Amino acid sequence: MHTAIARFLQYLEVERNATALTVKSYREDLVALADYLTEAHAGSCPGPGAIGVLDLRGYVAALHEAGYAQTTIARRLASMRGFFRFGQREGWANTNPAKPLRNPRKSRSLPHVLSSDDVGRLLAAPPANEPAGLRDRAILETMYSAGLRVSEVVGLSESDLDFAAGIVRVRGKGRKERLAPIGSYAVRALRRWLGARELSPREPAGPKAPVFVSKLGRRLSTRGVARMLEKYLRQTGLDRRTTPHSLRHSFATHLLDRGADIRSVQELLGHKSLVTTQIYTHVSTAGLREVYRRAHPRAQ
């Protein structure tokens, strides 16, 4: 089983050009399955070709009993389907035992969104008189201005920036590239940060140089951005539920609130399906309902 998992991960990395984060997620999901099967079969994990739908049903039931989130269970099912589909291609599986299993029904919760005023408070929090503050403001301005995921903002290199055109080249999920516009505030913040940035000798200079680096001059990690945001949330007293992704949610919601059409927002976010973008129309409607409830004399 572990040999088959290793071969599948190699296929994802080499042939499918999957990101390191995607490969890591598949590895964790499939190793967890192997551990369950080893325990369920008295210490001996069956070969991947001998695993049946009943084995997988038992595993999914165990995940439900352990209280795993529905999104986590759905992701693990997707990992299993991909793994056994690969097995059919390789010839060690005649069928895909994960195919008949249904995803759990997702409870669709609305994303957490900051108001325009709260975004302004957050963007103004980093100090402008020190390099770390310049970097932090440039990160926050860029994420909100272009609606970037945290992995996308830390992945930016100098060659991805086109200040004259006001765009950045973004590598999104599945390494898909898109061009995202950035506003004058973000451009100004980026220029100031790049003037203060110091690279580590380990990082390339020139076009391939990372835009955002740590105190050691190395490319900043996604966790580093999350820790930075947590610091400014404490300083400003803003909602602690706010995550780096909340800036992306706020970007989309504020565009729709101000009349942007949903197809344009879909393109800007890099969403493959319009269904994914439609969640923000619900957020926007929820905001209108709240305004109506507070303002209309007959709403109560």
SS3 category, 180: strand
Active site residue 2: no
Per the document, the length of the chain is: 300
| Active-site choice (75, 188, 218, 271) | 271
Of residues 254, 228, 230, the one with CA closest to residue 241: 230
User: Are residues 77 and 101 in contact, defined by beta-carbon separation less than 8 angstroms?
Assistant: yes
User: Are residues 124 and 185 in contact, defined by beta-carbon separation less than 8 angstroms?
Assistant: no
| Active-site choice (149, 171, 197, 219) | 149
80-to-73, 83, 95, 113 alpha-carbon distances in Å:
11, 5, 12, 33
Active site residue 245: yes
Active site residue 149: yes
Active site residue 59: no
Q: How far apart are CA 165 and CA 181, in angstroms?
A: 8
Reading the block at residue 82, the tokens are 């991909």
| Active-site choice (135, 248, 249, 254) | 248
Active site residue 271: yes
Strand partners, 170: 178
Of residues 199, 216, 196, 191, the one with CA closest to residue 208: 199
Mutual angle of helices 244-257 and 116-124, in 10-degree steps: 140
Q: How far apart are CA 80 and CA 26, in angstroms?
A: 9
Contacts made by residues 157-164, CB under 8 angstroms, sequence distance 24+: 157/207, 157/208, 157/209, 157/210, 157/211, 158/194, 158/206, 158/207, 158/208, 158/209, 158/211, 159/207, 159/208, 160/211, 161/190, 161/211, 163/187, 163/190, 163/191
| Active-site choice (173, 178, 192, 218) | 173
State which H helix or E strand residue 170 sits in: strand 167-171
Active site residue 280: yes
As annotated, the active-site residues are 149, 173, 245, 248, 271, 280
